[in-house]
A and B are shown apart, each in its own frame.
Chain A
Amino acid sequence: MAACFRYIVNDVTAAIDFYTQHLGFKLEMRPARAFAEISRGDMHLYLSEPARMGGGAPMPSGEAQKPGGWNRIHIVVDDLDAMIAKFKAAGGHFRNEAVQGTGGKQILLEDPSGNLIELFQPNTPDYRPPGSGSQAAQR
């Protein structure tokens, strides 16, 4: 099984390069210029350019879909500091500095269109990985 997320991007090719080269995604299909599906484990990410039809189509009001906002996918990494250093060296853009939360520390990375990716390194016993049972909450 899998779970699916759709990101609106300005350029599907640039987005494919970013996600496959830097974040371990695999290209599943690129059936049209304005659409691709990539995956990382059970996460399937649809990349849609604003287009006339399909997932990136405008609303009946004429309002166009666009990248950005704050809702995001969450990717668990082993060494957040090393990832941050690598992205900064490659010219990557972060929206904030790393912050510590209840379960771990995280930072908000932007893809080439300005969509957020939450990079997260668990570092406390309160962390519950996706896939863990409800029991872990009681720790």
Chain B
Amino acid sequence: MATVQVRYIVNDVDPAVAFYTGQLGFKLEMRPAPPFAMLSRGDLRLVLSQPSGMGGGGQSMPDGTKPQPGGWNRFAIEVADLEALVTTLKKAGAHLRSDIITGVGGKQVIVDDPSGNPVELFQPITAEARLGGRSG
């Protein structure tokens, strides 16, 4: 059940929906309008907004600045087998920002969605490093 919401700006909602549902295990919750979709994966709800004049999350700023994809802020999802997923993603033509990095608690890598938004993929090595593991 999704209880945490984040918003990503995407250039095109359809390829983003295909990427998140096809490669990363998200479920499509709603697709009510061309510039908007709502996806979920466990407790995470991901809303995708395309820059548009339709109000809401993709609306331009008062000075005319359009929201755009990219940057470094990202959600992190836990995966069971990072190397297998990376192999699958590479075969599908996805762009990874680095090779797999092994840290204290686990292995991680950042993959870009079709608009260039980062997603952090994390495989814990220790029980303490499980995402949200301490609270159950």
Contacts and interface: CB of A to CB of B under 8 A. Distances in A.
Interface of A: 1-8, 41-44, 46, 53-55, 57, 59-60, 65-74, 95-97, 99-103, 106, 115, 118, 128, 130-131, 134, 137
A124 B98 CA distance: 43
B126 interface: no
5 contacts: A1-B43, A1-B132, A70-B69, A131-B1, A131-B2
Interface string B83-105: 00000000000000111010110
Query: What 3 A-B pairs come out closest when comparing CB atoms?
Result: A69-B71, A2-B132, A101-B56
A134 B108 CA distance: 32
Interface of B: 1-9, 29-30, 32-33, 38, 42-45, 47, 55-57, 59, 61-62, 67-77, 97-99, 101, 103-104, 108, 117, 120, 131-132, 135-136
Nearest to B38: A128
A5 B71 CA distance: 13
Contacts of A71: 6-9, 69, 71, 73-74, 117
B132 A68 contact: no
